[in-house]
Chain A
Amino acid sequence: DGGITQSPKYLFRKEGQNVTLSCEQNLNHDAMYWYRQDPGQGLRLIYYSQIVNDFQKGDIAEGYSVSREKKESFPLTVTSAQKNPTAFYLCASSIRSGGSGANVLTFGAGSRLTVL
């Protein structure tokens, strides 16, 4: 079955540690996205990538880093510079960015990060 796999589902981290959240898709989608969701809030865009080896900052990129070395993978690193990293992180992909009908998002199940 095609889809997006995020891992781990739950992650606990000590303050000052970097953690990397995995996002893998086998949908052959060009575009991939990372969002952060705090309890009772909407989704905020962290980073997005329209093509391999290219990515752009979203609204809350500070304290996060990404890479897009392969089409199917878009890992997110939450660095120690992120002051309040406890949140639900969602990865999504779309066939391509821009254009009518081109960018319907398929989401992974999410990763819930808790900083102890």
Chain B
Amino acid sequence: GQQVMQIPQYQHVQEGEDFTTYCNSSTTLSNIQWYKQRPGGHPVFLIQLVKSGEVKKQKRLTFQFGEAKKNSSLHITATQTTDVGTYFCVPSNNDMRFGAGTRLTVKP
């Protein structure tokens, strides 16, 4: 299955600061999904990106899919303590392999 690299692995921000995680693939992706896992919880689906150059917003979250469909990013504006958790990008394939994710902590 396709594998992606996510950076950074960890990010600690002050509440109110912005946060971005990047997802990179060496191969072209058909589409990509993003999930969030709160501490002690299970991953929850956030969004799926399909089209080249696609940008989708969910309140303070902005998701982008690169023009070449080899990378994606999640940007959170003005983080809040409720944003704490691990964010995963997952190539949408038969095997649905997750990577290590980016763990976000927010200091109040």
B73 within 8 A of A: no
- Cross-chain contact of B96 among A41, A45, A109 (Cβ < 8 A): A45
A48 touches B31 (CB 8 A): no
Number of interface residues of A (CB under 8 A): 29
A54 to chain B, nearest CB (A): 12
B103 within 8 A of A: yes
B97 within 8 A of A: yes
B101 within 8 A of A: yes
Q: Could you tell me the distance between the alpha carbons of A24 and B60 in the complex, rounded to whole angstroms?
A: 34
Taking each of B88, B92, B100, B101, which has the highest tally of chain A beta carbons within 10 Å of its own beta carbon?
Answer: B92
A108 within 8 A of B: yes
Q: Could you tell me the distance between the alpha carbons of A43 and B44 in the complex, rounded to whole angstroms?
A: 13
A58 touching B30 in the complex, CB below 8 Å, given contacts A100-B50, A105-B45: no
B97 touches A100 (CB 8 A): no
- Cross-chain contact of B92 among A40, A42, A92, A103 (Cβ < 8 A): A103
B38 to chain A, nearest CB (A): 12
B98 within 8 A of A: yes
A90 touches B97 (CB 8 A): no
Q: Per-position contact with A for B12-53: 1 when CB-CB < 8 Å, else 0?
A: 000000000000000000110101000001111100101000
29 pairs, A vs B, C-beta closer than 8 Å: A31-B94, A40-B103, A42-B86, A42-B88, A42-B99, A43-B98, A45-B98, A48-B95, A48-B96, A58-B95, A92-B96, A94-B96, A97-B93, A97-B96, A100-B30, A100-B48, A100-B92, A101-B48, A103-B92, A103-B94, A104-B33, A104-B45, A104-B48, A105-B35, A105-B45, A105-B96, A107-B44, A108-B42, A109-B42
